[in-house]
A = this chain, B = another copy of it.
Amino acid sequence: MKPVNLKQLAEELGLSIATVSRALQDSHEVSAGTKERVRALAAARHYEPNAYASSLRRNQSKTIGVVIPKVTNHFFALAINGIEEAARQSGYHVLIYLTHDDYAREVAIIQHLKGGRVDGILLSVASGTEDIAHLESLTDANIPLVFFDRVCAEIATAKVTTNDYESGYQATAHLLAVGCRRIAHLLISNKLSIGRNRQQGYLDALLAHGLAPDPDLVVAGTMDNAHNLALIEDLLRRRPDIDGIFASVERLAVGAYHVCRELGRRIPEDVKIVGFSNLESVSLFDPPLTTITQPAHDIGRAAARILLQAVEKRRPVLPSQSVVLNSELVQRRSTEG
């Protein structure tokens, strides 16, 4: 059976389309009796309101866009769950867009979203992003924007992150406490604020413990995993004195494990490793990986709630606000002294 549209309902009821539409929207301009007749027929005929027509009328799509680098990173998978939970509670839908850490793709996505497809955007910046004009243009388009995890310092809006600086400091201090002296830092990207903050924490922890930072021990990862393995192997071959590794992102910690195994460097006897990761199965690794675990679900949920409030109140420009949810150092065997 083909579903009926508003016009067919109106004809069958002998009412105007406007009256039927108002009745279905529970308008006070329509009598209770008429509303009941309309609803009964709509139910009997399996009437489905057209989502696009409804959102055009209200000038709202009841949808938020989530723009993230990738979904295969467990942090983002968990954050999406948190975003989805908050959206569902408010009756909103979630559109997910992946940038694959590519600047041009991020620009194209934002350009598209400006066309009215979403009421607001949650964004975690691509590591390849160099210019922020596309993000600034959202203000002109009256689309509220909330950053989570990877933020843009230059844009004044709400931002939900973890305590990246403190986590970088804590990870490095932990390696120092278990006896490491030549600690390498595998950096997520020095273009990203989270990368710079984690790096600053690493540097300050070294200085606080009387060690001079060695620029040769800091390597920035790329978007290409095969290339990352080569970079890590080169580092460990060049500097056999490295006794600790702080990996700023999961895939670089995993990469360090692979390279250590290949080079016969034992973890934790020769090299101790701590890495940011939300992967549940790190406890099954050989040896289990000490992690900085981010509150990914909570970060997603908090960011979505802030965005949805702005959308509901029709406030396209959010006040500058920083929400910081703390990560946790979970000690496992990869850093055993």
Where the two chains meet, the residues of A that have a C-beta atom closer than 8 Å to any C-beta of B are 1-3, 46, 48-56, 61, 63, 70-72, 74, 77-78, 80-81, 84, 93-98, 112, 114-117, 140-142, 254, 257-258, 279-288
Instruction: Please pick, from B61, B81, B142, B284, the residue contacting A2 in the complex, using a CB distance under 8 A.
Output: B142
Whether the pair B50, A3 counts as a contact (CB closer than 8 A) is no
Residues on the B chain within 8 Å of A95, using CB: 63, 93-96
Additional 16 contacts, C-beta under 8 A, given A50-B115, A52-B117 = A1-B140, A2-B140, A2-B142, A3-B141, A48-B114, A48-B115, A50-B116, A63-B95, A72-B81, A80-B98, A81-B98, A84-B98, A258-B283, A279-B281, A284-B286, A285-B285
B254 close to A284 (CB less than 8 A): yes
| Chain B residues, Cβ within 8 Å of A84 | 98
A sample of 23 inter-chain contacts (CB < 8 A) reads A2-B142, A3-B114, A3-B140, A46-B140, A51-B115, A51-B117, A52-B52, A52-B55, A52-B56, A52-B61, A52-B117, A53-B56, A54-B115, A71-B77, A72-B74, A93-B97, A95-B96, A96-B96, A257-B284, A281-B281, A284-B285, A285-B286, A286-B288
- Chain B residues within 8 Å of A48, by CB: 114-116, 141
Copies of this chain, count: 2
- With both beta carbons as reference points, the residue of chain B lying nearest to A54 in the complex is identified as B115
The DSSP consensus for interface residues of chain A is: mixed
By a CB distance below 8 angstroms, the chain B residues around A63 are: 95
User: Which residues of B sit under 8 angstroms from A282, Cβ to Cβ?
Assistant: 281
- Collect the chain B residues with CB atoms within 8 Å of residue A286's CB: 284-288
In the complex, A229→B71 CA distance in Å? Answer: 27
Contacts of A254 in B (CB 8 A): 280-281, 284
The chain B residue sitting closest to A66, CB to CB, is: B96
Among B52, B80, B141, B281, contact of A71 (Cβ-Cβ < 8 Å): B80
Inter-chain CA distance A161–B81, complex, in Å, is: 25
Report A193 CB to chain B, min CB distance, Å: 25
Give the shortest distance, in Å, between A83 (CB) and chain B (any CB): 10
In the bound complex, CA of A2 to CA of B98 (Å): 27
Smallest CB–CB gap between A280 and chain B, Å?
A: 7
Say how far A121's CB is from chain B's closest CB, in angstroms: 14
Residue of A46, A254, A257, A286 with most partner-chain B CB within 10 A: A286
Is B115 a contact partner of A49 (Cβ separation < 8 A)?
yes
Q: Roughly how many angstroms separate A287 CA and B84 CA in the complex, as a whole number?
A: 35
- Measured CA separation A135–B1 after assembly (Å): 14
In the bound complex, residues from chain B placing their C-beta under 8 Å from that of A96 are 80, 94-96
CB neighbours (8 Å) of A71 from chain B are 71, 77, 80-81
A140 proximity list for chain B (CB < 8 A): 1-3, 46
A142 to B50, CA, bound (A): 13
Please give, as numbers and ranges, the residues of chain B lying within 8 Å of A288 by CB-CB distance.
286
Q: Least Cβ distance of A330 to chain B in Å?
A: 16
